[in-house]
Amino acid sequence: RTKYLKINPLVPELHKIRLAAKILARGGVVAFPTETVYGLGANALDGRAVRRIFRAKGRPADNPLIVHIASFQDVQDLVAYLPPRATLLMQRFWPGPLTLIMPRSDLIPDEVTAGLDTVGLRMPSHPVAQALIRATRLPIAAPSANTSGRPSPTTGQHVLRDLRGKIDAVIDGGPSTVGVESTVLDLTSPVPTILRPGGITYEELQAVLGKVAIDPAVKGQQVEHPKAPGMKYKHYAPAGEVFLVTGDLERVVARVRALVAAWQRRGRRVAVLATSETAPFYQDEPRPDYLEVLGSRRQPETIAANLFGALRNCDRHHADIILAETVKEEGIGLAIMNRLRKSAANRIIRA
Ligand code: TXA
Ligand code: MG
């Protein structure tokens, strides 16, 4: 049975935190909210506990986990040494949605790093995540709390839908505010390299570091051995087939409408992921079977926050085909497009 703990996200009730911490200390697995997405946590120093995460998610064993900490002091014990610029980045972006890949210490079991000699560390800013990590006095390994391959969970309900009965507890602290995962930045390469774009943008990193590289896998180029092993797997995939429609906005709208009509004629249920700027144009015939408005193009942060929930909603509405507009690949848009491209398995239609 999976314990369900509803919690106040701003002022977490201590007895619920203590209960969850006790489960973690005994080698259990607990899902908890972070500002990016929900994580599925276990004691990062206990290989057996960590293996339970992989089992519950159905995660391939060669995909390493991020280790979550709540104090700057914890870094010392978990890394072999601090790469240049690590301290600067921690001061500037922690707590927050930035994961730093650094040389690991012997304290970290192989299960966490999937045998790599590096470890990803992150200090989340969510009060529940912080309180939980503090209460355990342990580093907590936590991937996103979804079944492997599904869109990441941004609510407690998403977690339950995927993992009910497979994990010891869920702490439900309401919706995650960022909505896409942390930025994964490799500090072991000569130039710091973004392996996965996320809540901290390329532009923000560049302002601090000067030079930042972006791994080719980020923008959908096929690489045989991506640096972040997770980037090679099928990801964020709803049951329906996702197609991205890109180009000049007016032409995108016209093309999406034509595609809706064409698929519906062939008996398919069609969902459209639109923005508030384009939503009015999908109100009259041909009407999509399901329309989700992600947010305004002028506030891409709202689009990021709603994206994974929207993909899950398409499943609930039994969409066979999901047509999604693209956004500009700047700021948080880089992370949005990375997730959309993966959910579409690179099926992109030029309008
Ligand atoms: O926002 C987040 O990062 C969330 C919350 C729960 O903190 N966690 C998360 O974890 O997204 P996960 O496991 O779903 O994604 C971790 C990504 C994977 O693509 C993995 O391959 C990569 O980070 N990664 C982890 N450790 C790595 C390492 N040592 N070297 C390279 N990539 C690593
Ligand atoms: Mg994940």
31 phi and psi angles, rounded to 5 deg: -90, 140
Q: Is the previous residue joined to 95 through a cis bond, with omega within 30 degrees of 0?
A: yes
Distances (CA, A) of 97 to 126, 204, 247, 264, 284: 10, 12, 30, 40, 40
Q: What is the pLDDT of residue 231?
A: 67
- pLDDT of 98 above 70: yes
Q: Which residues line ligand 1 (CB under 6 A)?
A: 34, 36-37, 39, 63-66, 97, 99, 101, 113, 116, 118-120, 122, 124, 142-144, 181-182, 184, 195-196, 227-231
pLDDT digits (tens, 9 = 90+) for 63-77: 999 999 999 999 999
**Whether the predicted pLDDT of 229 surpasses 80:** no
Q: Of the bound ligands, which one is closest to the alpha carbon of residue 99?
A: 1
Distance 323 CA to ligand 1 centre (A): 28
Atom of ligand 1 nearest to the CA of 198: 1
Question: Is the pLDDT reported for residue 9 higher than 80?
Answer: yes
36 assigned to a ligand binding site = yes
H or E segment to which residue 170 belongs: strand 169-172
Mutate which of 68, 78, 99 for ligand 1 pocket (most atoms within 8 A of beta carbon): 99
Is 298's pLDDT higher than 80? Answer: yes
Question: Does the structure show a pLDDT above 70 at 141?
Answer: yes
Q: At what angle do helices 300-316 and 156-163 cross, to 10 degrees?
A: 40
Yes or no: say if 39 and 145 are a contact pair by the CB < 8 Å rule. Answer: yes
The pLDDT tens digits of the residues spanning 243-262 come to 999 999 999 999 999 999 99
Residue 86 has pLDDT above 90, yes or no: yes
Q: Are strands 66-68 and 241-246 parallel, antiparallel or unpaired?
A: unpaired
What per-residue confidence (pLDDT) applies to 235? 77
As a whole number, the mean pLDDT across the chain is: 96
Q: Which of 340, 338, 284 is nearest to 307 (CA)?
A: 340
What residues contact 264, with CB distance under 8 A and at least 6 apart? 270, 286, 289
What is the DSSP annotation of 201-217? -HHHHHHHHS--EE-GG
Which residue, by CA, sits nearest to atom 33 of ligand 1? 228
* Range of weakest confidence among 99-113, 232-246, 295-309: 232-246
Distance 60 CA to ligand 1 centre (A): 13
Distance (Å) from CA 286 to ligand 2 centroid = 35
Whether residue 328 has pLDDT greater than 80:
yes
Residue 39 CA: which ligand 1 atom is closest? Answer: 6
pLDDT for 226: 72
The size of the chain, in residues, is: 351
| Interval 39-52: pLDDT, tens | 999 999 999 999 99
Question: What residue type is assigned to position 238 of the chain?
Answer: P
Whether 13 has a pLDDT exceeding 70, the answer reads yes
Confidence of residue 164 (pLDDT cuts 50, 70, 90): very high
Q: For Cα atoms 144, 146, 149, give the angle at the middle one, nearest 5 degrees.
A: 100
> Is 122 annotated as ligand-binding?
yes
Q: Is the per-residue pLDDT at 234 higher than 70?
A: no
Residue 150 has pLDDT above 70, yes or no: yes
Residue 222: pLDDT above 80?
A: no
Best of 29, 32, 57, 66 for a ligand 1 pocket test (most atoms within 8 Å of beta carbon): 66
Q: How far is the CA of 136 from the centre of ligand 1 (A)?
A: 21
Distances (CA, A) of 216 to 147, 221, 242: 26, 6, 22
The span from the CA of 125 to the CA of 176, in Å, is: 11
**What's the mean pLDDT in 80-99?**
97
Q: Is 86 left (phi over 0), alpha (psi -120 to 50) or beta?
A: alpha
How far is residue 120 CA from its own chain's centroid? 14
Atom of ligand 1 nearest to the CA of 104: 29
Give the whole-angstrom CA distance, residue 204 versus residue 149: 29
125 is in an annotated binding site: no
Ligand 1 center from residue 181 Cα (angstroms): 8
Closest C-alpha to 82, from 58, 102, 62: 102
Name which of 159, 151, 179 is nearest 311 in CA terms. 151
* Calpha distance 161→316 (Å, rounded): 11
Work out the average pLDDT over 80-87: 96
The reported pLDDT for the residue numbered 262 is: 98
- Looking at the whole model, is its pTM more than 0.80? yes
Omega of the bond leading into 286 within 30 degrees of 0 (cis): yes
Report how far ligand 1's centroid is from the alpha carbon of 141 (Å). Answer: 10
